[in-house]
C-alpha cells in the first residue's frame, strides 16, 4: 500500500465524514474472518499463523466456501438455492470485472484474487459443485461423475489455496488435485449416514453394480452386505491419492506447504480411523479428539 499519495485524500474524506476506502476493505476482511471463526474449523489457527496477506486471502477463500456450502445444505427449495448460487456467480464475475461485488466476502476476495493470481474458473467450479449438492435427491452415476464432483468441491479449493501458499506450478496444482480427491473421498466415507438422511448418495452407481448392489436408495445401499467392498474400493483410492499428495508435497518448500500438510494429516488420520473401525459399523461416528487435532496442528502447522 502506497501511503503518501493518498494521505491528503484520506484526510479530506475524514473531514467530510466519509470512511477511507481501506477501512471498508478491513471491514470486509473482518467479516470473512468471523465466518471462518464461527465455522469451528480445526484449521482456523493454522490459517491464523500465516503471514498477514496470505492469512487474509485464506480467510476470504474459506469464507466463500462456507457461504456457498451453507446455501447447498439449506433446507430451502431448489429454485431458491440455485438463485442464491447464481447471485454468488454474479459477484465472482464482479470481482474479476473490476466492479463492486454486493457481498462483503466477495469484496474481501478482490485483493487476494489480484495479489495471488486466483483463477475465476476455480471459484465458478466450486459454485457448480454446490449446485450438484443443492439437489433434493443426489445420485452419482459413475466414477467419472464422482471425479468431476471432487474436482469442483475440493480440488478447485486446493488450486486456489496453493496459489496463496506460493507453491510453484504445475506442482502446486498436482498437489491440489491429489489432496482434494483424497480429502473428498474421506468426507464421503465418513458422512455416509448424514448424507443418507439428506437423500444423498455419493457412492457411484457403477461401483455399486460392480459389487452386486442394484439398489440406489441410500438406506437399501447402506444395509447391503456388499457395502463393505464398495467402501474399501473408495478407501484404497483415497490412500493412493494421499500417497500422490505426499510425493508432490515433498517437492515443495517445507514452510510454504505446512497448511496443506496439516489438513492432509487430519484427514489421513480420519480415514485410518474409519478403516480401523470397519465398514460394517458405518453407523458408528468417527472423529479425531481435540488433543490429536492440536498435536497435528503443532507438528505439521508450526514445527
- Strand blocks (E) in the chain: 138-139, 200-201
Residue 12 CA to residue 2 CA, distance in Å, equals 17
The three grid cell numbers given for residue 93, joined into one nine-digit string: 464475475
Alpha-carbon gap, residue 261 to 82, rounded angstroms: 34
Is there a common fold for 23-135 and 137-303? yes
Buried b (16+ CB within 10 A) or exposed e, 152-179: bbbbbbbbbbbbbbebeeeebbbbbbbb
Q: Given a cut of 90, is residue 109 above it in pLDDT?
A: yes
Model confidence at 258, in pLDDT bands (50, 70, 90)? confident
Kindly state the percentage of the chain with pLDDT values over 70: 88
pLDDT of the residue at 15: 34
Give the residue extent of every domain in the chain.
23-135, 137-303
Residue with cell 459413475: 142
Query: Which grid coordinates belong to 90?
Result: 454474479
pLDDT band at 254 (very low <50, low <70, confident <90, very high): confident
137-303: what fold?
Farnesyl Diphosphate Synthase (1.10.600)
Best CATH choice for the domain 23-135 from the list 1.10.600.10, 3.40.50.1580, 1.10.10.10, 3.20.20.10 = 1.10.600.10
Mean pLDDT over residues 61-77, rounded? 93
Average pLDDT over residues 81-110: 94
pLDDT per residue as tens digits for the range 188-246: 999 999 999 999 999 999 999 999 999 999 999 999 999 999 999 999 999 999 999 99
pLDDT at 19 over 60: no
Provide the H-helix boundaries in 211-257.
218-222, 227-250
Give me the phi and psi of 124, to 5 degrees please.
-65, -30
Is the sign of the CA dihedral 157, 60, 187, 297 positive or negative? positive
Q: Say how many residues make up the chain.
A: 303
Residues in Cβ contact with 65 at an 8 Å cutoff, skipping those fewer than 6 apart: 126, 157
| pLDDT number for residue 143 | 97
Predicted confidence band of residue 277 (pLDDT cuts 50, 70, 90): very high
40: left (phi over 0), alpha (psi -120 to 50) or beta: left
Per-residue cell: 29: 476482511
Contact (Cβ atoms closer than 8 angstroms) between residue 257 and residue 250: no
Amino acid at each position: 500500500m502506497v501511503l503518501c499519495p493518498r494521505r491528503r485524500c484520506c484526510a479530506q474524506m475524514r473531514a467530510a465524514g466519509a470512511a477511507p476506502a481501506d477501512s471498508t476493505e478491513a471491514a470486509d476482511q473482518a467479516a470473512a474472518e468471523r465466518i471462518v471463526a464461527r465455522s469451528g474449523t480445526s484449521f482456523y489457527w493454522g490459517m491464523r499463523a500465516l503471514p498477514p496477506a496470505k492469512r487474509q486471502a485464506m480467510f476470504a477463500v474459506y469464507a466463500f466456501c462456507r457461504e456457498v456450502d451453507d446455501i447447498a445444505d439449506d433446507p430451502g427449495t431448489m429454485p431458491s438455492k440455485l438463485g442464491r448460487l447464481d447471485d454468488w456467480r454474479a459477484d465472482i464475475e464482479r470481482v474479476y470485472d473490476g466492479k463492486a461485488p454486493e457481498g462483503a466476502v466477495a469484496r474481501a476476495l478482490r485483493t487476494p484474487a489480484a495479489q495471488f493470481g486466483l483463477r475465476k474458473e476455480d471459484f465458478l467450479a466450486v459454485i457448480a459443485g454446490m449446485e450438484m449438492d443443492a439437489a433434493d435427491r443426489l445420485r452419482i452415476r459413475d466414477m467419472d461423475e464422482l471425479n468431476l464432483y471432487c474436482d469442483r468441491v475440493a480440488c478447485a479449493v486446493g488450486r486456489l489455496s496453493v496459489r496463496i501458499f506460493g507453491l510453484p506450478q504445475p506442482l502446486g496444482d498436482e498437489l491440489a488435485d491429489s489432496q482434494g480427491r483424497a480429502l473428498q473421498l474421506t468426507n464421503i466415507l465418513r458422512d455416509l449416514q448424514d448424507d443418507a438422511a439428506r437423500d444423498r448418495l455419493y457412492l457411484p452407481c457403477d461401483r455399486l453394480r460392480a459389487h452386486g448392489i442394484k439398489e440406489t436408495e441410500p438406506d437399501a445401499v447402506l444395509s447391503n452386505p456388499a457395502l463393505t467392498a464398495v467402501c474399501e474400493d473408495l478407501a484404497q483410492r483415497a490412500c493412493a491419492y494421499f500417497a500422490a499428495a505426499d510425493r508432490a508435497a515433498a517437492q515443495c518448500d517445507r514452510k510454504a506447504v505446512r497448511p496443506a500438510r496439516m489438513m492432509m494429516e487430519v484427514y489421513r488420520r480420519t480415514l485410518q480411523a474409519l478403516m480401523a473401525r470397519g465398514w460394517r459399523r458405518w453407523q458408528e461416528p468417527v472423529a479425531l479428539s481435540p488433543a490429536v487435532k492440536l498435536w497435528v496442528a503443532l507438528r505439521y502447522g508450526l514445527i
